[in-house]
Structure 1
Amino acid sequence: MSAVPLRPIMLVLALALTLGACARTKEQEQTTRPGVVEATLRPYQIKGVWYYPRIDWSYDETGIASWYGEPFHGRKTAIGEIYDMNEMTAAHKTLQLPVDVKVTNLENGRSIMVRVNDRGPFVNGRIIDLSRRAAQLLGFQNQGTARVRVQVVDDQGRPGVSTLPVPTTTPEERTAAAAAPVGEVTARPLEPPPGARGTGGVPAAPKPTPAPTPVHTVPSTPPPAVVTQGAARPTAIYIQAGAFLNVAYAERLRAKLSRYGRSFITRATVDGQLFYRVRVGPLRDVNEADIVLDQIIASGETGARILVE
């Protein structure tokens, strides 16, 4: 038996190791920060539904909050901590873990800070699951749900988005309307024309200094149980079933959803791009919204969600 040349094999192995190292480095840059558990950023499936966690320091959404206590008290959370229903914590389906969020009860104006350290709630129409203590302070423990706004905050408690009273950009719109990449423009001196004196020309424009990347720190313990009281305002509940660039597609979906209630199209401009949003409502309360949402999802519109405005 002839000997197998080792040099080609070694080259292949070296190339594979190099590519693997490059891919790993890129993955780490995209998903890891101090204190973030990398495993909780991987896609996962619950009851046949896939969820895709990601780091989002600009998260700002409205919807319906619920709370959980027994029998989860004393069990491990998604990042291995022990769940204490008397601490200021919460569960979210896709946010990085752990992270602090500001939760505002839009019905009474109360706001609190909580530490998201768990996954859930895996119920249609709920955007966050709060601990029992957090629900008590927000004033909805007895009713079970509340209309809320959820904002990721930095280590100073500052939201990462604008100061708009209610967010108007949906996740799918933020993805679809991403700005096109802008190339770098440079300048260089031109040679003087024949017979001209001097060497003057257009001096090279200095390259702009890139804005520093904000550094976010992750919480190590739940925030204190502090309630901030703001002004309450009237709100309405809707189901948003889709957002389209083509008005014909939006009109087709609006007609389909008319059987579930008043369906209509609203316009919204995001990053200079006009979207046509298809909604149903307003709905009387959370119970009616849950029923209509389940019907719309069962009809095939699995991306439908409850929103509060």
Structure 2
Amino acid sequence: MLDKLEMYIAVAREEHFGRAAAALGITQPTLSAGVKQLEEQLGVQLIFRGSRYGGLTPEGQSALSWARKIVGDSRQLKEEMRFSRHGLTGQLRIAVIPTALTWAAKLTARFSEKHPKVRFTILSRTSAEILSMIENFSVDAGISYLDNEPMGKVSSVPLYREHYMLVCHRDSPFAERRTVGWAELNGQKLCLLTPDMQNRRIIDKNFRESGVSPEAWIESNSTIVLTVNVEDGGWMTVLPADMARSLAAGKPLKIIPMEVAEVVHSVGLVAPYREPHTPVLKALLTEARRMSKAG
């Protein structure tokens, strides 16, 4: 039944039989047959469907919670047994908001020094996507905002508090400033992250609270794209301090602190709430706590 529960979780996650089958590496008829067999075993209809996916039935919603718990417990059992035989090994999949990718690199580098047999997959995603991916077992953990969106039931470790920098060309009139006020960027040539990014929503809120609503003429979900436009096109952007320092290093760019906002947001490691955690995830949370204290 376990394989059928994983098929069901994939369909609920993708909301499409074809995409779910592709994600699992099986054919769509195999997936459809597996979900149908699960419904027969449970004696209820889980999914509304005619010619296509039509959503979960009320019984399907309840079954999804159980499916996630059973699959999660099964994976944890496998991890525990592998740890008892081989020590800390395996692979960790981590989804990270774009502005925290430098911290993801720091965390995985420190972790790998102590546990060289663990491999990592790092994905850049929005904060909303990260929570969904954790819930649906698409990733093992995430690095995201801890205090600006409903988090649900998760384990979290704060890593840093976000402060913002103006990134401009060294020839910009702002280049020699010690600080820059948010209102001063009204009417300036700005490139910013796309509105689906929580970082962009925070930046827009800082602008609104300063009484201005500047326009971004270039939007991207890539901080690298923003930095290239600042370097080559005479634009300016606003990024968290660590990301700004990393991207501006070795380039003809200047970074200037933005005036501190009233609310400073925390970013941290987020993992499914389970007691106990798998050995490898427990070790990752422990390393994140060490980094947080060191910072």
Return the TM-score normalized by structure 1.
0.20
Q: Which has the higher helix share?
A: 2
Higher RCO (CA-CA < 8 Å; seq separation 6+): 2
Structure with larger Rg: 1
